[in-house]
Amino acid sequence: MQINPKESNSLLDSALNYHFPEYSEEQGIQKVVAFGDHSHKCPIYVKQTPSCTAGCPAGNDIRAWLTLVQHSEKRKRSWQESYELAWHEASKTTPFPAVCGRVCPHPCETKCNRSKKDDGAVNISSFERFIGDYGIRAGLRHKKLTTEIKDKKIAIIGAGPAGLSCAFQLARRGFQATVFEAFAQPGGMLRYGIPPYRLPRNILDGEIDAIVKTGVKIICNTVIGIDKSLDQLAAEFDKIFIGIGAHKGVQLGVAGEEAPNVFSAVRFLRMINSGEPVQLGTKVLVVGGGHSALVIARVARRLGAEVTVLYRRTIVEMPATEEEVSEALDEGVEIRYLIAPVGIRTENGRAVAVLCTQMKLGDLDKTGRRRPIPVEDSHIIVECTALILAISQRPDWKDAKRYVSANGWLKPDKDWSIDESMYAGGDVISPDRVTTAIGHGRLAAERIAASLEGKPFQPPNYSEIITEEKLRLSYYEKRERNERHWMPVNNRFDGTIDLEIDFGITEEQFRAEALRCMSCGLCFECNQCMIYCPQHAISEFPDNPVGQVMYTDYTKCIGCHICALTCPCGYIQMGMGEGL
């Protein structure tokens, strides 16, 4: 690469006037071992947490996935070898990349620093989906951390994302994990709460099958608290993880809710996803503004109904993502804001209309949103042939009720335990994303494993989160601009819910998205520091892992700071080491 003399001079001028803060070992900064007597600051290499990982509830090392593919040619790997490596890297924290690539609202992308450079964040969700789909097609097997089969047994209650994630991580560590599932098939809300147009069943089954092959045993049609008591389970197993999800709908508390054409969100989706016949008629009302409300509305549209969503706040406060709202509107769903149901009118035992009141927004409530306030004398009647309430949901506790806290949910401590042998995670703590439940399951499994082995658990020491102001974004402008690749959306309705809505990105687009990653906080071998160092103090070790390739000869370093200023990804900082 040619050095630009003007930029070199500019960088040197900046270096002479640049102030770097002091760093300490306590901040996770490695020491610099120097040779000779120096009093100036020299470069230190600080691996930082990328913003995408900081925004991921599952704790996925997204940067590692992307750079593994990005460096395929540099590492002389075939693309397929890199795809497989990326899949195994993903499985360290999640057994569900193909699932989450379809259903996660991707908060990681909201944090992605790439969006500060061009038209959008790296398309992490599509990238994750491609990795997961590749793993299923190639029949990849998860790598276990040990070949030893340990004599400790753990029972997991609930085969949803939290329970399966917990069982998977325990099996990887050699423990015997048995999952007890109340429904006929495993998956929890992944199967019974998400329709096939968002999550094809062959994809879900493929990733569950890979979990089972790690040694996890799943027993379905078994309700703990009916078929087997929690106490019996405690006597048989060394530890128990409760991940039963929240499969019980919350009602409005008004007359008429007992009508057969009034459904809770979880009941409606369970019937749909179980293949039970549902008579909706032609005019469906959905109450709520979250993800479930929009999913239900889109299911009802696919079954031929006119659908109106009633939400008591405005679009600004709506929990559903902008993408979900936009796609629902494109499909013909009507959304009426600032309106709330207060009663149900029935005829011949069936709901035929909903009595609603107009709302206005007041001060902020504890959720940080403006509180909806009824407007006096503003009642209206909205007719319907079916009413679906997507306002909230709760777990069906049964024997686990003894552990419920004062707030109505399970409240584990910092070790994810609710007593000496009982752990919990997922929607039993509070309804949230699939990725959140996956993260809960992994975190609990790590603590369970440490407890069973009699070892103190050492949580990972996450480094500082690197944000865009710590990057040299001008470097990335030199590279050929790659626009974000979007998934085409299939809006065709065929009277079923089996036609997948998103087609995914192509293999070429997948590779292009990997190249868009800026490797925030970790060396990606751009060689800028080596090129610009006036003392030729920096060299590389090409055989070292990504992020550990640069080497500084501190006997040559004069502390000019140019290497830190030229580093695009913020990996190089200036600090005082021993003897410096």
Average pLDDT over residues 333-346: 97
Give the phi and the psi of residue 326 in degrees, each rounded to 5.
Answer: -60, -45
Count of domains observed in the chain? 4
User: In what helix (H) or strand (E) does residue 379 lie, and over which residues does it extend?
Assistant: strand 370-383
Spatial neighbors of 194 by CB under 8 A, at least 6 apart, are 103, 269, 273, 295
Asked if pLDDT for residue 11 goes beyond 60, the answer is: no
Query: Which residue in the block uniquely carries the two structure tokens 């097609």?
Result: 137
Note whether 373 and 273 are same-domain residues.
Answer: yes
Q: Measured between alpha carbons, how far is 164 from 218 in angstroms, rounded to an integer?
A: 9
AA identity, residue 497: I
Q: What is the CA radius of gyration of the chain?
A: 27
Average pLDDT over residues 543-558: 78
**Which residues face 288 on adjacent strands?**
none
* 459 assigned to some structural domain: no
Residue 492 CB neighbour total at 10 angstroms: 7
Note whether 305 and 359 are same-domain residues.
Answer: yes
- C-alpha dihedral (88, 94, 96, 99), degrees to nearest 10: -120
Note whether 347 and 480 are same-domain residues.
Answer: no
What local confidence, expressed as pLDDT, does residue 432 receive?
A: 93
Coil, strand or helix: which one is 153?
A: strand
Q: Which two tokens stand for residue 15?
A: 């270096």
What local confidence, expressed as pLDDT, does residue 12 receive?
A: 39
What local confidence, expressed as pLDDT, does residue 131 receive?
A: 98
Average pLDDT over residues 107-120: 90
Average pLDDT over residues 551-572: 91
Q: Place 14 in a pLDDT band, splitting at 50, 70 and 90.
A: very low
Q: Which two tokens stand for residue 65?
A: 């996935």
For the chain, the straight-line distance linking the first and the last C-alpha, in angstroms and rounded, comes to: 32
Spatial neighbors of 246 by CB under 8 A, at least 6 apart, are 266, 393, 394, 395, 427, 428, 431
Note whether 427 and 378 are same-domain residues.
Answer: no
Query: Which residue in the block uniquely carries the two structure tokens 């002091």?
Result: 22
The predicted model scores a pTM of: 0.90
What local confidence, expressed as pLDDT, does residue 119 receive?
A: 74
Sign of the CA dihedral with 219 first, then 222, 227, and 233 last: positive
Spatial neighbors of 295 by CB under 8 A, at least 6 apart, are 194, 195, 198, 269, 324
CATH number of domain containing 350: 3.50.50.60
Segments in 40-182 forming alpha helices (H): 51-54, 62-70, 79-90, 97-103, 107-111, 124-138, 161-172
Nearest to 441 by CA among 184, 125, 157: 157
CATH number of domain containing 29: 3.30.70.20
Last residue of a domain, one of 513, 533, 564: 513
**Which residues face 489 on adjacent strands?**
502
Q: Return the higher-pLDDT residue of 48 and 17.
A: 48
**Biggest alpha carbon–alpha carbon distance for the chain:** 93
Sign of the CA dihedral with 363 first, then 369, 370, and 373 last: negative
CB 318 within 8 A of CB 289: yes
Note whether 380 and 330 are same-domain residues.
Answer: yes
Note whether 536 and 492 are same-domain residues.
Answer: no
Lowest-confidence range among 27-31, 60-64, 145-149, 397-401? 27-31
Which residue range forms the structural domain that includes residue 297?
249-393
Note whether 254 and 344 are same-domain residues.
Answer: yes
* 401 assigned to some structural domain: no
Q: Place 489 in a pLDDT band, splitting at 50, 70 and 90.
A: low
Q: pLDDT for 508-534, tens place per residue?
A: 999 999 999 999 999 998 999 999 999
Q: pLDDT for 287-331, tens place per residue?
A: 999 999 999 999 999 999 999 999 999 999 999 999 899 999 999
Note whether 323 and 197 are same-domain residues.
Answer: no
Nearest to 150 by CA among 454, 452, 457: 452
Portion of the chain with pLDDT greater than 90, in percent: 76
Note whether 232 and 222 are same-domain residues.
Answer: yes
**Which residues face 393 on adjacent strands?**
249
* 443 assigned to some structural domain: yes
* 123 assigned to some structural domain: yes
* 430 assigned to some structural domain: yes
Note whether 129 and 175 are same-domain residues.
Answer: no
Note whether 447 and 364 are same-domain residues.
Answer: no
User: In what helix (H) or strand (E) does residue 443 lie, and over which residues does it extend?
Assistant: helix 434-452
* 468 assigned to some structural domain: no
CATH number of domain containing 115: 1.10.1060.10
- How far is C-alpha 502 from the geometric centre of its chain's CA atoms? 18
Nearest to 528 by CA among 120, 37, 6, 11: 11
